[in-house]
Amino acid sequence: MISRRAALELQDGEVVNLGFGMPMAVVNFIPKERNVVLQSENGCFLFGPTPRLGQQDSDVANAGSMPITLRPGASTFDFATSFGIIRGGHVSSAILGALEVDQEGSIANWSMPGRSPGMGGAMDLVAGARKIIAILLHADKSGASKVMKQCSLPLTGKGVVKVIITDKAVFRVTPGGLVLEELVADLNVEGLRSITEADFTIAPDLCEYRLA
């Protein structure tokens, strides 16, 4: 659901990086009429949807080592070239998974108590990509909000996120704070406030959570 909604943020002509975890599924939901160039940080340009079982090539994978397909005109290259693309500002949008986000557009997605696997390419993406879209579950396993006034975990980037997509809502990050733009059908604004630590205002054209 979250990956499907995130795919709707992508526009024709964009160069897009899909981060580790949930963002890797976005490739399977990009509308066919959208001409999007997908870039993988491990060295690939113009990859496509997940192959069917038995049709995968073990030499071609995304950042999470999951199999991908290559579209006509695709290319593969080394890490140096890949990160030159990212650091050079050539990535239009990056969709990143998150442990926490906050109302100032900060994102924490690499370290939590007892587990710090490393930041990976996220540190380069939050600095190099022109638009950061954060996707995550709205609450943790205990029910605590992951959309916060201020992140409590070590930051990946401060004030870098433009759009936050959870399983409950879609927020746009503005200089004035979070703006609620979409809300799932089985929840009202008061209910969302009760499960969200962050402050937010409501867009005048608030609509139901879109999946197409």
Structure-token match 């004030």, residue found: 159
9 is catalytic: no
Structure-token match 């976005």, residue found: 26
Which amino acid does the sequence have at 102?
Answer: D
Q: What DSSP string runs through 4-64?
A: HHHHTT--TT-EEEE-SSGGGGGGGGS-TT---EEEETTTEEEEESPPPTT---TT-B-TT
And the tokens for 122? 């996220």
And the tokens for 6? 């995130």
Q: Count of residues for the chain?
A: 212
Q: Which of 153-179 are b and which e, b meaning 16 or more Cβ less than 10 Å from the residue's Cβ?
A: bebbbeebbbbbbbebbbbbbeeebbb
Among candidate residues 41, 100, 104, 181, the one labeled active-site is 41
Which residues are designated catalytic? 41
